[in-house]
Amino acid sequence: MNSLVIMSVPGSVLWPLVLVRIFLLFTGQPTETVSEENDAGEVYKVVFWNLENYFDPFDDPVTSDDEFTPTGEKRWSWKKFVKKRNDIAKVIISLAGENYPALIGFAEVENRFVVDQLVRSSPLAMVDYGIIHRDSPDERGIDVALLYKRSLFRPLKSDFFCVSNRDSSLKTRLILYAKGVLEDLDTIHVFVNHWPSKLGGESVSGPKREAAARTLRRVCDSIFAVNPRANIIIMGDFNDTPDSQLFRNIIINSSESRPLVNLASKLYRKGVGTIKYKTEWEFIDMFFVSLNLLDEDEPLFCPDGAMKIYKPPFLLEDDRIYLGKKPFRCLTGPRYNGGISDHLPIVLSINKMWQNPAKNK
């Protein structure tokens, strides 16, 4: 079933860009950006970010969200929600500079309402983003979503895939799929993932992530069967590190289909990560791309080092227990911490290359 929703943005915007820039300046938040130009032309940014429980404060009777209500364990209020909503927008504006992301994938959004609030009622309203989203069968009600900048990306199709394990669907996040044209230049296929966590240990959770990997690989293979040179971008929180056998055996080196490349591998070997567990930074948020996007003779090209972790100082706080820094999260257990997320955003830069006339003959 196609679930493509195109959102309209009001002509009157409450949060003009200049006010956000002033806010970032006077709060000591630098507007660090990720590469915006290359020798061949423009750069398109793709962002993925796990938002750490981006919940509204209203009780949903069909999901386990009671802790995120004013009377629940987290004492989650409209005021706290609005702060988190606006802070998410300011981070996207900060990493954008003058080049707003063409695509933004999110994990841990509760529902359409919270994404709609971000697009319509936050400082991000000025950018005119559309939304692709559907409620997942996750028991807590958390979903994935995709924002697309209308002036750059024209959606052609969207779908959502259930993760199936031994002929039964798991109560986990759907895999979001969108096909579209990037600035009338080339067609791309985009996936947003949030795979099952390691709750319960590897013996319990490992098969669930394997089921997610096989579901994703099956859909990619169906795309490659139609077009072996398809442009595929896979993003998400995979709850596993780049050295996992799942990635090597199923996603990357499948013997039955074309391989996909994990752009996080080089960064992982440097010991950096997107989330911190005790003393260790872990790399569980990643981008995978098809080989076609690594070909500099193609209209769209991901150069070496195309993936970055966005980690300005205002997304970090002192780690008083394990020393160093850690992500400035929104909540620490039931305690409100005032940050945004326990994950850092990742950014992919795609170069727009000039067409080679010889290729079009």
Residue 311 structure tokens: 């980690």
Across 137-168, b (16+ Cβ under 10 Å) vs e yields: ebebbbbbbbbbbbebbebeebbbbbbebeee
pLDDT at residue 16, as a whole number: 44
- DSSP string over 105-163: EEEEE--HHHHHHHHHHSGGGGG-EEEEE-----TT--EEEEEEETTTEEEEEEEEE--
- Whether the CB-CB separation of 122 and 59 falls below 8 Å is answered with no
Residues 6+ away with beta carbon under 8 Å from 13: 125, 126
At the topology level, CATH places domain 41-360 in Deoxyribonuclease I; Chain A (3.60.10)
pLDDT at residue 159, as a whole number: 98
pLDDT at residue 183, as a whole number: 92
| CA neighbor of 146 nearest in space, from 283, 6, 37 | 6
| CA neighbor of 278 nearest in space, from 327, 316, 334, 321 | 321
Model confidence, pTM? 0.89
How does pLDDT run across 128-164, given as a tens digit for each residue? 999 999 999 999 999 999 999 999 999 999 999 999 8
Which segments of the chain does DSSP mark as H helices, in order? 17-26, 78-96, 112-121, 202-226, 245-246, 265-269
| Intervals of the chain under pLDDT 50 | 1-19, 22-31, 38-40, 356-361
Identify the helix (H) or strand (E) that includes residue 283.
none
pLDDT at residue 319, as a whole number: 96
Residues 6+ away with beta carbon under 8 Å from 23: 29, 90
Residue 41 structure tokens: 């032309």
In the chain, where the domains are located: 41-360
- Give the span between the Cα atoms of 325 and 315, in whole angstroms: 10
pLDDT at residue 168, as a whole number: 75
User: Which residue's entry shows tokens 């080089």?
Assistant: 266
pLDDT at residue 355, as a whole number: 52
